[in-house]
């Protein structure tokens, strides 16, 4: 049985914690598993290096940033291998290059193109526990690349896929995926299972346990992810394909909250072809990240258009909108909104899920400013002050605490 | 004009100092020089990583140590390149591998076997200042290797040799090579020039400005070294081939002191073939590093043998000697001795240099316990308490302050 394990920055944040990880790896080895272990940099290390770079330049060269930032994971990988060998377990540390991780040439945000598993397989066959420096690879020109924030998750999933591992265990300081944030709703329950699709919606909505790109890659490669805590022996949550009938029973898997939202509403927008495209193109040109977009059916010669942006980008968005004065009747901004979302593959085939949400919100006096739905998600923009109440109301109305 | 510059750990010890190095590099660039700049890890960084490794193991795997330790120089190289680019100078950071530095397979103490200059030359030709992470290379199996303590000097000299650079400037916090340690003899004078041979004797005798292996390599490859300070604009000392007649004038270039010496004297050692070899083989087996060795001409059936070791290895040496009881009449140890040495290519062709030393020592009541001489060096073992006095006496008697 081959398992890929990944330990995040908090899990390897101190020398004591690296020793703790070594103990866990050794235990899995004693259970007879073949192991590839991907590690992040010690927590704080990557931020420190970024600060260093920004001392010299606001826009440091990306190629050089990759040489800089890839060093942290190398340190952790080497230390973990040293710890395991000292405990009597053969272990070898590999850099991204040595692990055969080939990427494209996009520095600081590279995509993994392929993994040459020759060395990995020979080390595993030779009886070694293979420790891989996460977050990094090498491109066709021999340049060091990194995979962007949370990239070690991506390394782990890609390795698990390429090696056809039985599972990819992602360790962090949280012991799995919850029906909602336990700090908001103490009745939140850890899920035993969640589908890739639900996880994708949840993580883009603010459940920070897993990096979105890794879930997408896991889905594409059919990798079974297990999200676990490196500080406990709790079971964790399996993220995998929707599994037959059982799943149909669960309408809703979780409730997510994103408080970093600002709303922009444009009324009486000239309804000519391409006007929306123009507006969003200009926003993109200014690097403003638009999240939710809704457009009402057009009425005569004008239409209403609404969208949300991160709160710190609202001022920039306003400036862009002002340039469209002649096309927009009136505009209205709200900096203090949040997005609360209900996610569940079950809702695809069940009507009434949305109605239940709207009714529960109304009953509690929470006004819904915008609504957007997908097959497995209902998102609502509400006044920020109702955020926590809305989460608890929705958590209860779908029986997530049971 | 192509110059290789090397900046040591103290010179890049803080972000401010890295900026200072960037300014110096930029200045050299403005003078029209092509530049390859080798950097060490920020001071303290390598020791920190070694401590980390020793938290897990007394004898950490050497292969993993190399992945660990090579990270510090990568950080400095990337930061310096970022700083230069921000200032408007095209610069690119290369890891040891990318700089084409190929070594043998001896982890943590690898020897440079060759340098593939293809990439270096193309970057230089392309107008880039090339920043190279020092102290590291790659072996034929694609494994990361490091070159041992002070290895960045070695990287710089090897690169200067391979690229046929006009000079290899080694920057540290000292502005050159002195006739002796200025903390002991305030009249010590900075040398404008010193030959490879003299430098080799001086550095193995405790002048810590340049790593010995680098001077040997420079000699072999004919690389002109300039030892300079990164904190001043002083001229520095040129280390190069002995240059014709002028040199003949100088009898003695410097006086070196090594206080970390313990003396072992063995009397009435059975004078049978191979006995010395046996003793030193056993000492080597115990990793005891023997420095000076002298043997008196044999007298009848016994001989006298003396040698020095580092003070902290004396106890181990004693144990080894005890095993030779039947071959050794008596033994005598002195933990508190030091070695004072006079170095100069001039003494090759001049008699009387040794006599001058012995006479000066006698006049000042300093008893010489052991003497060893080479063509360009006279070393004397004396009571440790006379160390500084001996240095000053010798410095004066050879007129080194003039």
pLDDT for residue A51: 97
pLDDT band with cut points at 50, 70 and 90 for residue A247: very low
Q: What is the pLDDT of residues A365-379, one digit of tens each?
A: 999 988 888 888 899
Provide, as residue numbers in chain A, all residues whose Cβ is less than 8 Å from the Cβ of B67. 74, 77-78, 93, 95, 133
Mean pLDDT, range A244-272, rounded to an integer: 80
B14 touches chain A (CB under 8 A): no
- Is A95 in Cβ contact with B144 (below 8 Å)? yes
- Is B77 in Cβ contact with A52 (below 8 Å)? no
Q: What is the pLDDT of residues B40-75, one digit of tens each?
A: 999 999 999 999 999 999 999 999 999 999 999 999
pLDDT band with cut points at 50, 70 and 90 for residue A305: confident
Comparing CB atoms, the residue among A19, A57, A86 nearest residue B82 is A57
pTM score: 0.85
Mean pLDDT, range B162-180, rounded to an integer: 94
A225 within a domain of the structure (yes/no): no
- Is B56 in Cβ contact with A86 (below 8 Å)? yes
A18: nearest CA partner in chain B: B56
Comparing CB atoms, the residue among B64, B67, B83 nearest residue A56 is B83
pLDDT for residue B251: 79
Mean pLDDT of chain B: 91
Same domain, B139 and B285: no
Q: Would you say residue B400 has pLDDT above 60?
A: yes
Q: Exposed, middle or buried: residue B358 (CB in 10 Å: 0-12, 13-18, 19+)?
A: middle
Phi-psi region of B121 (alpha: psi -120 to 50; beta: other; left: phi over 0): alpha
A97 touches chain B (CB under 8 A): yes
Provide, as residue numbers in chain A, all residues whose Cβ is less than 8 Å from the Cβ of B78. 53, 64-65, 67-68
pLDDT for residue B120: 98
Mean pLDDT, range B227-241, rounded to an integer: 93
A374 within a domain of the structure (yes/no): yes
- Sign of CA pseudo-dihedral A346, A348, A353, A358: positive
Q: What is the pLDDT of residues A349-399, one digit of tens each?
A: 777 888 889 999 999 999 998 888 888 889 999 999 999 999 999 999 999
B264 within a domain of the structure (yes/no): yes
pLDDT for residue B314: 94
Same domain, B266 and B370: yes
- Is B57 in Cβ contact with A86 (below 8 Å)? yes
**By mean pLDDT, which of A72-86, B18-32, B188-202 is the weakest?**
B188-202
Q: Would you say residue A248 has pLDDT above 60?
A: no
**By mean pLDDT, which of A123-132, A349-358, B215-224 is the weakest?**
A349-358
Q: Would you say residue B33 has pLDDT above 70?
A: yes
B241 within a domain of the structure (yes/no): no
Element (H, E) at B221: helix B212-221
- Is B95 in Cβ contact with A77 (below 8 Å)? no
Same domain, A161 and A303: no
Residue B368 neighbours by CB under 8 Å, 6+ apart: B358, B361, B380, B381, B382
Comparing CB atoms, the residue among B75, B82, B144 nearest residue A56 is B82
Instruction: List B36's β-bridge partners, or say none.
Output: B4, B130
Comparing CB atoms, the residue among B68, B83, B143 nearest residue A75 is B68
Q: Which of A173, A205, A239 is the last residue of a domain?
A: A173
B118 touches chain A (CB under 8 A): no
pLDDT band with cut points at 50, 70 and 90 for residue B317: very high
Cα separation, A381 vs A370, whole angstroms: 5
Q: Exposed, middle or buried: residue B311 (CB in 10 Å: 0-12, 13-18, 19+)?
A: middle
Selection from B273, B335, B333 nearest residue B303 by Cα: B273
Comparing CB atoms, the residue among A52, A75, A83 nearest residue B15 is A52
pLDDT band with cut points at 50, 70 and 90 for residue B134: very high
pLDDT for residue B267: 87
Mean pLDDT, range A234-259, rounded to an integer: 79
Q: Would you say residue B138 has pLDDT above 60?
A: yes
pLDDT for residue B200: 87
A62: nearest CA partner in chain B: B82
Element (H, E) at B281: helix B275-285
A278 within a domain of the structure (yes/no): yes
Using DSSP, how many helices (H) and how many strands (E) does chain B show? 13, 18
Q: Which of A13, A20, A71 to mutate to test the interface with B (most CBs of B within 10 A)?
A: A71
- Sign of CA pseudo-dihedral B105, B106, B112, B113: negative
Contacts A–B by Cβ distance under 8 A: 115
**Bigger pLDDT: A246 or B163?**
B163
pLDDT for residue A289: 86
**Bigger pLDDT: A211 or B199?**
B199
Q: Would you say residue B246 has pLDDT above 80?
A: no
- Is A71 in Cβ contact with B71 (below 8 Å)? yes
Interface of A with B in 250-279 (CB under 8 A): none
CA–CA min distance A14, chain B (Å): 10
What is the domain range of residue A269?
255-397
Q: Which of B173, B194, B213 is the last residue of a domain?
A: B173
- Is A57 in Cβ contact with B83 (below 8 Å)? yes
Measured from the Cβ of residue A68, the count of other Cβ atoms closer than 10 Å reads: 28
Mean pLDDT, range B129-157, rounded to an integer: 96
Same domain, B259 and B366: yes
pLDDT for residue B168: 98
Same domain, B165 and B260: no
Q: Which of B173, B195, B226 is the last residue of a domain?
A: B173
Provide, as residue numbers in chain B, all residues whose Cβ is less than 8 Å from the Cβ of A144. 95
Q: Would you say residue A287 has pLDDT above 90?
A: no
Query: Contact B155/B201 with Cβ under 8 angstroms?
Result: no
We report the CATH number of the domain holding residue A332 as 3.30.2130.10
Q: What is the pLDDT of residues B328-368, one digit of tens each?
A: 888 999 999 999 999 988 787 777 888 889 999 999 999 99
Mean pLDDT, range A178-183, rounded to an integer: 90
A189 within a domain of the structure (yes/no): no
Provide, as residue numbers in chain A, all residues whose Cβ is less than 8 Å from the Cβ of B72. 71
pLDDT for residue A208: 67
Give the total number of structural domains in chain A: 2
A19 touches chain B (CB under 8 A): yes
Q: Would you say residue A194 has pLDDT above 80?
A: yes
- Is B57 in Cβ contact with A85 (below 8 Å)? yes
Provide, as residue numbers in chain A, all residues whose Cβ is less than 8 Å from the Cβ of B61. 81-82, 85
Provide, as residue numbers in chain B, all residues whose Cβ is less than 8 Å from the Cβ of A68. 74-75, 78-79, 82
B148 touches chain A (CB under 8 A): no
Q: Would you say residue B35 has pLDDT above 80?
A: yes
Mean pLDDT, range A68-95, rounded to an integer: 98
Share of chain A above pLDDT 90, in %: 71
Which range, A134-143, A243-252, A317-326, B253-262, is most confident? A134-143
Q: Which of A48, A50, A61 to mutate to test the interface with B (most CBs of B within 10 A)?
A: A61
A52 touches chain B (CB under 8 A): yes
Mean pLDDT, range B32-38, rounded to an integer: 98
3-state SS of chain A? CEEEEEECCCCCCCHHHHHHHHHHHHHHHHCCCEEEEEECCCCCHHHHHHHHHHHHCCCCCHHHHHHHHCHHHHHHHHHHHHHHHHCCCCEEEECCCCCCEEECCCCCCCCEEEECCHHHHHHHHCCCEEEEECCEEECCCCCEEECCCCHHHHHHHHHHHHCCCCEEEEEECCCCCECCCCCCCCCCCECCEEEHHHHHHHHHCCCCCCCHHHHHHHHHHCCCEEEEECCCCCCCEEEECCCCCHHHHCCCCEEEEEEEEEEEEEEEEECCCCHHHHHHHHHHHCCCCEEEEEECCCECCEEEEEEEECHHHHHHHHHHHHCCHHHEEEEEEEEEEEEEEEECHHHHHCCCHHHHHHHHHHHCCCCEEEEEEECCEEEEEEEHHHHHHHHHHHHHHCCCCC
Provide, as residue numbers in chain A, all residues whose Cβ is less than 8 Å from the Cβ of B143. 98
B24 within a domain of the structure (yes/no): yes
Q: Which of A55, A82, A145 to mutate to test the interface with B (most CBs of B within 10 A)?
A: A82
A99 touches chain B (CB under 8 A): no
We report the CATH number of the domain holding residue A45 as 3.40.1160.10
Selection from A363, A359, A361, A398 nearest residue A383 by Cα: A361
Mean pLDDT, range B292-300, rounded to an integer: 76
The reply to whether ipTM tops 0.90 is: no
A181 within a domain of the structure (yes/no): no
pLDDT for residue A246: 53
Mean pLDDT of chain A: 91
């Amino acid at each position: 049985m081959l398992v890929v394990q990944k330990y995040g920055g908090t899990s390897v944040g101190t020398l004591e914690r690296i020793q703790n990880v070594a103990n866990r790896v050794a235990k899995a080895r004693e259970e007879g598993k073949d192991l590839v272990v991907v590690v992040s940099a010690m927590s704080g290390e990557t931020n420190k290096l970024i600060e260093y770079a920004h001392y010299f330049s606001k826009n440091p060269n990306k190629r050089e940033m990759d040489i800089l930032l890839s060093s942290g994971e190398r340190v952790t990988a080497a230390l973990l291998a040293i710890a395991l060998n000292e405990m009597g377990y053969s272990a070898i540390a590999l850099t991204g290059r040595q692990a055969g991780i080939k990427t494209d040439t996009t520095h600081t945000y590279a995509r993994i193109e392929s993994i040459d598993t020759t060395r990995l397989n020979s080390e595993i066959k030779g009886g070694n526990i293979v420790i891989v420096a996460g977050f990094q690879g090498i491109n066709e020109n021999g340049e060091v690349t990194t995979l962007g924030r949370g990239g070690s998750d991506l390394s782990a999933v890609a390795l698990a896929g390429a090696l056809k591992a039985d599972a990819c265990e992602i360790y962090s300081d949280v012991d799995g995926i919850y029906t909602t944030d336990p700090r908001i709703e103490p009745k939140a329950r850890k899920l035993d299972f969640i589908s890739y699709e639900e996880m994708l919606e949840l993580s883009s909505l603010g459940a920070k346990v897993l990096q979105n790109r890794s879930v997408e890659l896991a889905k594409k490669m059919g990798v079974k992810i297990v999200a676990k805590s490196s500080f406990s022996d709790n079971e964790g949550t399996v993220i995998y394909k929707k599994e037959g009938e059982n799943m149909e029973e669960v309408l809703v898997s979780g409730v997510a909250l994103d408080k970093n939202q600002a709303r922009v509403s444009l009324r009486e927008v000239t309804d000519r072809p391409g006007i929306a495209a123009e507006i969003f193109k200009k926003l993109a040109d200014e690097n403003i990240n638009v999240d939710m977009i809704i457009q009402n059916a057009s009425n005569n010669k004008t239409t209403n258009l609404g969208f949300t942006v991160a709160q710190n980008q609202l001022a920039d968005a306003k400036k862009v909108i002002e340039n469209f004065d002649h096309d927009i009747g009136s505009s209205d901004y709200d900096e203090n909104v949040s997005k609360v979302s209900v996610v569940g593959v079950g809702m695809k085939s069940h009507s009434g899920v949305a109605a239940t949400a709207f009714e529960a919100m109304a009953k509690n006096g929470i006004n819904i400013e915008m609504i957007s739905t997908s097959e497995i998600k209902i998102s609502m923009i509400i006044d920020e002050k109702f955020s926590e109440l809305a989460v608890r109301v929705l958590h209860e109305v779908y029986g997530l605490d049971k």
